[in-house]
Structure 1
Amino acid sequence: MARKNALTEVSARGGTTATRASAVYEQLRSDIAHGVLEPGSKLRVEAMSTRYNVGASPIREALSRLSSEGLVSRTDLRGFSVAGLNWDELPILTHNRVQLESIALSESIEHRDQAMEDELVLLVHKLSRTPRSLSEEQFVTNPAWEALHFEFHRALLSRCPSRWMRSFCDSLADEAYRFRQVAAGKTFSSRNEHAEHQAIFEAVIEGRKEEAVRLLTDHYTRTTTVIESQVKESADAAPV
């Protein structure tokens, strides 16, 4: 998942206190989801204020919101820190994501229009022309690809009438992204993600709901399987 830099946009045009608070929340959320702020790292208010060039109040508000969402941990003595990843929760997360997105995708397909199809055509084309990795020899995250990937999956659900459903799906996608980064390097040379995206895209624009849901489910399940395999290998290789 990748989002626009909300703080840069707000700084460029000014903004109210509420706007700045919302912008710093979005940027903090994005930095946690993308691993810029690693699991377990401390989130001291003064340091965050300097980092994002805002006052302490918007930072505290953003951290409190993120704490309620489970992305930030808070203790009375230690303050705020980036929440760790609980690997036992990954299968549950994937199951819940599949359940919600299956409904959202089906409804989005039912309400699809020309604008949605045009957006998907453009995103699939851009994804096919954007390198997954910045290096051909080893995996190095390409922010441009990640941004397009996030927009593609969001566009698939964009015509779901329920904003609550879309919001829940966004939250699960952010959490899943943190886990997905673990799998990216391992599958870089062998997995044809473009073919998976292309198949989902074709099923969606042709209105084949059941097939689209199945393909999306397989897409997420495959990622989860790879992550679990890598975690197991790391545990087996760890010294006793």
Structure 2
Amino acid sequence: MTKADSTPTLASSIAAMLRERIAHGEFAPGAKLRLDELRTMFGVSLSPLREALSRLCAEGFVATEDQRGYRVVPVSQNNLDEVIRLRVQFESYALREAIIKGDDVWEGEVLAALHRLNKIERGRVDAQGVSQWEQFHSVFHRRLISACGMPLLLHFCETLHDLNDRYRRIFLSDNPIDRDVRQEHVDICTATLERRPDEACELLRSHVERTGANVLKALGDGRASSAGAA
């Protein structure tokens, strides 16, 4: 593979690592992203780094400043409200299409994703367990809509999920939550696999909006909150 061929792959890897760190709050909302520091951190040249940052700008994680570099997009109630509204619309449509088009293989993938998520959730006590839960949680939501047959729609849904996830992770505390998130996942899965699209989409909407409401309250209070999971 030539250097030119490897650049897009390298840029994708850098973008994924930066996206994850922003989602975890390691790069604080509004923080300036200094190219020299990022080059040292990832051990790369400016070309793939700039490409990675451009991708994150397009996704809504990073913003450019006129001739002054890059900055992590700040958090705000308006931004989160927009993300929640769009995610509900796009993901519900994708779920409805997946229910229509999904086959036996898709059903098995959804069930397997839920099983892995629930196994982690029962034993989620340390940092590694939390990290695994976050990973399997994202996989479950992606598997639900994976059979929609619309790659562009899936791309939009994934970006919105990641933007939503950023808020949830930043404002999630160790306080107990007043919802049974595990049961919410089970109910969504059951309605989906029993091919009840109206019920499945309504459950998904409620699931996402509950988390959004908790995080919006936390933003309004200026504190972290037990936002739950969506």
The TM-score with structure 2 as length reference comes to 0.86
Bigger Cα displacement from structure 2, 220-229 vs 73-82: 73-82
CA RMSD of aligned residues (A): 2.2
Matched with 1:171 is 159
CA contact (8 A) 1:182 1:227 kept: no
Give the letter aligned to residue 207 of structure 1.
R
Identity of aligned residues (%): 35
Partners of 1:81 and 1:125 lie apart in 2 by 38
Displacement of 1:33 after TM fit?
2.4
Displacement of 1:77 after TM fit?
4.9
1:81 match: secondary structure: strand
- Unaligned runs of at least 5 residues, structure 2: 224-230
Displacement of 1:45 after TM fit?
1.4
Displacement of 1:189 after TM fit?
4.0
CA contact (8 A) 2:29 2:75 kept: yes
CA contact (8 A) 1:128 1:194 kept: yes
1:225 aligns with 2:227: no
Aligned positions of 1:207-218 closer than 5 A: 207-218=195-206
Aligned positions of 1:111-190 closer than 5 A: 111-131=101-121, 133-134=124-125, 142-185=130-173, 188-190=176-178
The TM-score with structure 1 as length reference comes to 0.83
Matched with 2:64 is 74
1:28 maps to which of 4, 18, 24: 18
Partners of 2:54 and 2:177 lie apart in 1 by 40
Partners of 2:91 and 2:185 lie apart in 1 by 15
Partners of 1:202 and 1:194 lie apart in 2 by 12
Q: Kindly tell me: are residues 232 and 20 of structure 1, through their superposed partners in 2, closer, same or farther at Cα, counting changes over 3 Å?
A: closer
Bigger Cα displacement from structure 2, 201-210 vs 110-119: 110-119
Matched with 1:8 is none
- Unaligned runs of at least 5 residues, structure 1: 1-14, 236-240
Partners of 1:29 and 1:99 lie apart in 2 by 23
